[in-house]
């Protein structure tokens, strides 16, 4: 257990959304990725997110924003989350509305608060490094910056945007904080390899820290209608009108990602910083990414190793390597296949290879097109 110090001004916002389509049939519309224990840690991704942030901010400075469909499950998984810190969105209106509402609610209560937004479905192995990066990010945010955490790239990933890092800012207590020169979109493989060779590029994991008021000011400057709507809802928060105002205003809010609405305009204005961090960070995009993160691993012969998630007593394997997810309550037997992925659930079983794991999204799309919402 790592002991970390409270960061007094920090309020944490956890946007808990995203279906994790590439993790079907384990991840479903009704049980998305963040509600699942994907690694066999005994805690769901949401709970692990809580566990790494609550020591920094304290339970009474934690907020979770999620869809109404998942509010009950979130409350159930996070018993220490104050009831009025669970913001249930009437509908999905993208991240600027979700995070902006939370920031507006915080700003009403504590005008000089710093908010940090951290996704509910990421894994971070190095809690001490994470706490230190957040601490430096908060100090930097207090100087008025929008501060991202920049993940040290470990390979030429094409699935993430990158942050092009400039000079050290020289902020006291935050020696690692750098200027951000530019956010760059998900690159192709050649460009990504070039970033790795050049150095100075970090993965954008979507984690950022900013004074609530700075975030709201950026919204006011670039998305005035969205800003006005969020303030109207926040003003009614914890009043008898809360639900009426939310239901009236929310559907009118612009759907826009926080990156476009806040981070990119701020970067263009030279107001974005990055704290580079080597955290053992993973976003678990698909079963190929998940396999090495699963705790239980069994040698099965021929030098092969099988990772097992779920009910490992139900799994038997010989000469089999890869990943088995056993959540169907049935016996799962794997013989003589390497790099295989078997995901057994009560109503669907997926058999694929690590190599083909990305194609799972197409399966889900096809099921949706075929009207099989019962399986989504």
Distance CA 108, CA 213 (A): 10
Residues 330-349 within binding reach of its own copies (CB under 8 A): 330-337, 340, 342, 344, 346-349
- Inter-residue contact 239 to 135 (CB < 8 Å): no
- Inter-residue contact 323 to 290 (CB < 8 Å): yes
Member of 318, 327, 365, 369 binding its own copies (CB under 8 A): 318
HSE-up of residue 367 (Cα within 13 Å, Cβ side):
16
For helices 127-141 and 45-57, what crossing angle results, to 10°?
Answer: 50
Comparing CA positions, the residue from 187, 180, 179 lying closest to residue 161 is 187
Residues 234-273 within binding reach of its own copies (CB under 8 A): none
356 binds its own copies (CB under 8 A): yes
Residue with smaller CB distance to its own copies, 79 or 371: 371
Distance CA 95, CA 222 (A): 15
Residue with smaller CB distance to its own copies, 297 or 316: 316
- Inter-residue contact 11 to 57 (CB < 8 Å): yes
Distance CA 136, CA 118 (A): 15
Member of 153, 280, 319, 327 binding its own copies (CB under 8 A): 319
- Inter-residue contact 137 to 129 (CB < 8 Å): no
Residue with smaller CB distance to its own copies, 196 or 375: 375
CB of 159 to its own copies, least distance (A): 18
Q: Which one of the spans 82-90, 132-140, 159-167, 324-332 is the region binding its own copies (CB under 8 A)?
A: 324-332
CB of 87 to its own copies, least distance (A): 34
Residue with smaller CB distance to its own copies, 87 or 341: 341
Residue with smaller CB distance to its own copies, 4 or 349: 349
Residue 195 has φ and ψ, to the nearest 5°, of -60, -45
Member of 139, 350, 365, 368 binding its own copies (CB under 8 A): 350
Vertex 138: Cα angle to 136 and 143 (nearest 5): 100
CB of 341 to its own copies, least distance (A): 9
Q: How many residues does the chain have?
A: 376
Residue with smaller CB distance to its own copies, 217 or 338: 338
Residue with smaller CB distance to its own copies, 124 or 350: 350
**For residue 199, what are the CA distances in angstroms to 180, 182, 317?**
14, 14, 43
CB of 370 to its own copies, least distance (A): 9
323 binds its own copies (CB under 8 A): no
Residue with smaller CB distance to its own copies, 121 or 286: 286
CA atoms 273, 276, 277, 282: torsion sign:
positive
Residues 16-35 within binding reach of its own copies (CB under 8 A): 25
Which residues of the chain form contacts with its own copies (CB under 8 A)? 25, 316, 318-319, 328, 330-337, 340, 342, 344, 346-353, 355-356, 359-360, 362-363, 366-367, 372, 375
């Amino acid at each position: 257990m790592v002991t970390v110090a409270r960061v007094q001004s920090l309020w944490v916002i956890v946007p808990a959304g995203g279906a994790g389509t590439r993790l079907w049939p384990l991840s479903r519309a009704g049980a998305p990725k963040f509600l699942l224990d994907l690694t066999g840690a005994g805690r769901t991704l949401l709970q692990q997110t809580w566990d790494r942030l609550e020591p920094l901010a304290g339970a009474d400075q934690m907020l979770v924003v999620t869809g109404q469909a998942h509010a009950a499950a979130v409350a159930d998984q996070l018993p220490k989350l104050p009831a009025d810190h669970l913001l249930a969105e009437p509908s999905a209106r993208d991240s600027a509305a979700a995070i902006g509402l939370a920031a507006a609610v915080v700003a009403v209560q504590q005008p000089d608060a710093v908010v940090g937004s951290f996704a509910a479905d990421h894994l971070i192995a190095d809690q001490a490094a994470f706490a230190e990066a957040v601490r430096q990010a908060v100090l930097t945010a207090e100087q008025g910056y929008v501060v991202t955490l920049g993940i040290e790239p470990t390979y030429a990933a094409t699935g993430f945007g990158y942050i092009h890092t400039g000079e050290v800012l020289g902020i006291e207590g935050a020696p690692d904080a750098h200027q951000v020169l530019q956010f760059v979109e998900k690159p192709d493989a050649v460009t990504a390899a070039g970033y790795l060779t050049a150095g100075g590029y970090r993965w954008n994991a979507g984690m950022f820290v900013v004074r609530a008021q700075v975030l709201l000011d950026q919204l006011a400057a670039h998305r005035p209608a969205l800003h006005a709507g969020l303030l109207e809802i926040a003003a009614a928060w914890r009043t008898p009108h809360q639900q009426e105002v939310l239901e009236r205003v929310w559907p009118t809010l612009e759907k826009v990602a926080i990156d476009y609405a806040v981070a990119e305009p701020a970067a263009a204005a030279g107001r974005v910083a990055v704290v580079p961090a080597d955290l053992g960070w993973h976003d678990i995009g698909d079963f190929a990414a998940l396999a090495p993160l699963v705790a239980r691993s069994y040698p099965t012969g021929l030098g092969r190793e099988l990772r097992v998630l779920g009910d490992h007593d139900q799994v038997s394997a010989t000469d089999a390597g890869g990943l088995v997810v056993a959540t169907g309550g049935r016996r799962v037997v794997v013989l003589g296949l390497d790099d295989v992925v078997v995901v057994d659930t009560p109503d669907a079983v997926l058999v694929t290879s690590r190599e083909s794991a990305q194609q799972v999204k197409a399966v889900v799309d096809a099921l949706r097109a075929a009207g099989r919402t019962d399986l989504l």
